[in-house]
Amino acid sequence: MTLTINDKEYELPSDPRVSLLDFIRHDAGLSGTKKGCDHGQCGACTVIVNGERINSCLTLAIMHEDDAVTTIEGLGTPTNPSALQQAFLSHDGYQCGYCTPGQICSATAMLTEIASGLPSDATEDISTSPKLTDEEIRERMSGNLCRCGAYPNIVAAIREVAEAGL
């Protein structure tokens, strides 16, 4: 039984209690994904599973046989960062950096959600495709806490990438 993380295959753990988050951080050694609360309250552990963002602390690793997981390390590297990673850097969309991987994974999948027409609480007319307003970004990023309070910079970073269509 295996799953893939960033295109690399891993054996699922023998202990059924291992959360996907602990599997990623500990077993796979990819500590870019963060544990902030372990209860699905902060979003620091957000990863992309089969194209959708989830809180990896709220699911067990063994539930993900054959799933494709993308973590922050799979989005870009220091020498080849993704457009969102670069935008978070230039807009200072973080301070301590601990919530940042979750924010960026979340934002990456969130832009896809808007593009595919999924509405949110901030969507004024849910019968039409949502527009990429600041309020949509704020609403859709509200599952990712940032105690340093970088929210305005996070919105600016996401807006820049979305507007550039990167």
Tell me: does residue 142 bind other proteins (CB under 8 A): yes
Total chain residues near other proteins (CB under 8 A): 64
CA–CA dist 66, 122 (Å, integer)? 34
Q: Which of 31, 58, 113, 129 binds other proteins (CB under 8 A)?
A: 31
Tell me: does residue 123 bind other proteins (CB under 8 A): no
Report in angstroms how near the CB of residue 153 gets to other proteins at its nearest. 7
| E strands present in 31-147 | 46-49, 52-55, 68-70
Which parts of 37-96 interact with other proteins (CB under 8 A)? 37-39, 41-42, 44, 71-73, 75-78, 81, 85-86, 88-90, 92, 94-96
Which of 17, 18, 16 is CA-nearest to residue 28? 18
User: How does 91-106 read in b/e, with b if 16+ C-beta sit within 10 Å?
Assistant: bebbeeebbbbbbbbb
CA dihedral sign of residues 46, 52, 58, 61: negative
Binding site for other proteins (CB under 8 A): 15, 17-18, 22, 25-26, 29-39, 41-42, 44, 71-73, 75-78, 81, 85-86, 88-90, 92, 94-101, 104, 122, 134-135, 137-139, 141-155
